[in-house]
Amino acid sequence: MSSMPDMVRIFDTTLRDGEQSPGASMQKEEKLQVARQLARLNVDIIEAGFPVASPDDFDAVQSIAQEVGNLPEAPAICGLARAVDKDILTAAKAVSAASLPRIHTFIATSPIHMDKKLKMSPEGVLKAIERSVTLARKHVEDVEFSAEDALRSDRTFLAKAVQVAIECGASTVNIPDTVGYAVPGGIRDLFRFLIDTVPGAKQVVFSCHCHDDLGLAVANSLSALEGGARQVECTVNGIGERAGNAAMEEVVMALKVRKAWFGLDTRIRTEEFFRSSRLVSSVTGMVVQPNKAIVGENAFAHESGIHQDGFLKDKDTYEILVPEQVGVSGGKLILGKHSGRHALKDRLETMGYVLSDEELDRLFVRFKKLADQKKDLYEEDLETLIWEEDTHPKDRFVLKRLHVSGGTEIPPTATVVLERDGVEHRMAGLGDGPVDAIYRTVSKLTGTTSRLVSYSVKAITGGTDALGEVTVRIDLDGLLSIGQGADTDILVASAKAYLAALNRLERKKMKAGILSPHPSNAKATPSP
Ligand code: KIV
Ligand code: ZN
């Protein structure tokens, strides 16, 4: 991990704060896949989860620590813990297999949080910091302390809290803007104040963690760096609690493009940004807005005549970074119908995916099927195939066959054959349109009482033979679930997306104890 003074550590919390986005919860396999990609991005620290929250969270953090935490040049693997013994001991156990384990313990320091939420006195909070950081240090060398809601805390008390954490052995001190209240000038000033006045502050790394409630998370993170912070907590695509966290790709590219201004650097392999963005979007079902900086579909599209004219004369007229720097390939053609198993394996390896022979065999069959339907295959197509392969191992509902008829003369009718718990069922039904016919029929076949919240469709690659990707959100009494499906036939993609959402809902119901629970489903601890 970097310790040079002009180096900024990138602390990724996609798997913890990002996972707290409504509807963005991930399964263990999905978390592992994201963690592998974060390692490829070369982040310094992965906050892999909140181990005490549930046995599933513990299991995911432990698996990430074991696998990703032991890669060559592995990032530190971090587990979150409230400032209580049980959380810290659980986090210590979950991250113990990593070569660089970190415990991140936090407690609120603002009057409103101490008084109304914790019902603790300021003295009680200082004691909890002392106890928790000391306990964490007994288990790992690398302890991070966060003063939750720091930006609404009394400065003098915050400085005291930070001092106690440093005295007890915290090597990173995080000053989170938990509710997204900060403004750039204010947060810069706060970091300067703490670093200048707290004894021992210059010996530790100060970290910022900004939420985007006022749309200022990235600006505030950059200002915190100007104030002396040397760690930024952020997420891929800026996902996170409420309006989200600071978007990693935006912070890092601002530092890179404006290096002369900031004089700071990161170790991030920026060419991995686009792929990371797509992966997180696929796994969470959170669509990236087209005009999103750095990774949005339109981030490099020049539409107006004047812009196009200038761009064609000299790219620098309207472009401050080139798409290749962030991994946008411009839809590079990679494989086709005649490509063999070996070419597929090679290509996957250059994309960073190493599959077992058995996994490769399965993927190759699906690859051939897709290549038959679609002339040209792009990296994005392969990633969708892999994602589907990785994340739907034991689905309750499996689409077997689909036939849809419609047009101007006959009412839309769908005939669906699906497997439910291993048994095939068949049904036909009408609808207001072909997708409606499919969804009504699937609802009857699965017996679901969930409500469709949203349905969106987009073409993954250009051309009329593009792989269409459908994203569906469903809700069952407050339990949200997201599913995605991709196919060259948009109706098949729609059916797959709906079934993916229903399968994920089944897993969530299981986790929430609504279905006959798995023995490991203990009662959940509330999220921070
Ligand atoms: O926003 C916040 O305060 C947090 C802490 C747990 C660091 O996420
Ligand atoms: Zn947060």
pLDDT at 480: 75
**Distance from the alpha carbon of residue 41 to the mean position of ligand 2, in angstroms:** 21
Which among 321, 328, 232, 315 is positioned nearest to 271, based on CA atoms? 328
Our answer on whether the CB atom of 146 is closer than 6 Å to any ligand 1 atom is: yes
Our answer on whether the CB atom of 209 is closer than 6 Å to any ligand 1 atom is: yes
Structure tokens at 171: 């090597």
Calpha distance 338→371 (Å, rounded): 8
Our answer on whether the CB atom of 148 is closer than 6 Å to any ligand 1 atom is: yes
Point out the ligand 1 atom lying closest to the alpha carbon of residue 245: 1
Nearest CA to ligand 1 atom 8: 17
Point out the ligand 1 atom lying closest to the alpha carbon of residue 528: 6
Structure tokens at 54: 């549930």
pLDDT at 318: 72
Kindly give the parts of the chain with pLDDT less than 50.
Answer: 1-3, 331-333, 391-392, 515-526
Ligand with smallest separation from the Cα of 148: 1
Ligand with smallest separation from the Cα of 208: 1
Which among 42, 458, 493, 68 is positioned nearest to 281, based on CA atoms? 458
Q: What angle do CA 248, 251, 254 make, to 5 degrees?
A: 140
pLDDT at 303: 59
CATH code, 395-512:
3.30.160.270
pLDDT at 343: 80
Ligand with smallest separation from the Cα of 235: 2
Our answer on whether the CB atom of 90 is closer than 6 Å to any ligand 1 atom is: no
Q: Are strands 413-420 and 423-430 parallel, antiparallel or unpaired?
A: antiparallel
Partners of residue 80 on adjacent β-strands = 104
pLDDT at 518: 30
Question: What pTM does this model have?
Answer: 0.75
Ligand with smallest separation from the Cα of 175: 1
Our answer on whether the CB atom of 380 is closer than 6 Å to any ligand 1 atom is: no
**Distance from the alpha carbon of residue 61 to the mean position of ligand 1, in angstroms:** 18
pLDDT at 410: 87
Which alpha helices (H) appear in 258-409, and where do they start and end?
259-262, 273-284, 305-313, 341-350, 357-373, 379-391
Structure tokens at 17: 């704060």
Our answer on whether the CB atom of 106 is closer than 6 Å to any ligand 1 atom is: yes
pLDDT at 519: 28
Side chain identity, residue 155: R
Point out the ligand 1 atom lying closest to the alpha carbon of residue 106: 6
Our answer on whether the CB atom of 177 is closer than 6 Å to any ligand 1 atom is: no
Burial letters for 375-387: b for 16+ Cβ neighbours within 10 Å, e otherwise? ebbbbbbbbbbbb
Residue 519, CB-side half-sphere exposure with 13 Å CA sphere: 0
Nearest CA to ligand 1 atom 3: 178
Contact partners, residue 384, CB within 8 Å, separation at least 6 = 282, 460, 467, 469, 486
pLDDT in tens, 475-500: 888 777 888 888 888 999 999 999 98
Substitution site in 11, 87, 109, 146 for ligand 1 pocket (most atoms within 8 Å of beta carbon)? 146
- On whether the 9-284 domain is CATH 3.20.20.70, my answer is yes
Instruction: Compute CA distances 315 → 254, 255, 298, 307, whole Å.
Output: 19, 21, 16, 10
Point out the ligand 1 atom lying closest to the alpha carbon of residue 20: 8
Our answer on whether the CB atom of 528 is closer than 6 Å to any ligand 1 atom is: yes
pLDDT at 367: 87
Our answer on whether the CB atom of 144 is closer than 6 Å to any ligand 1 atom is: no
DSSP 8-state class, residue 96: T
- DSSP character string of 284-312: H--PPPTT-TTTSTTTT---SHHHHHHHH
pLDDT at 365: 87
Substitution site in 209, 210, 234 for ligand 1 pocket (most atoms within 8 Å of beta carbon)? 209
Q: What is the 3-state secondary structure (H, E, C) of 399-414?
A: EEEEEEECCCCCCCEE
pLDDT at 358: 82
Substitution site in 148, 153, 220 for ligand 1 pocket (most atoms within 8 Å of beta carbon)? 148
> Domain-by-domain residue ranges, the chain?
9-284, 300-331, 332-392, 395-512
Contact 187, 223 (CB under 8 A): yes
Ligand with smallest separation from the Cα of 244: 2
pLDDT at 308: 63
Our answer on whether the CB atom of 249 is closer than 6 Å to any ligand 1 atom is: no
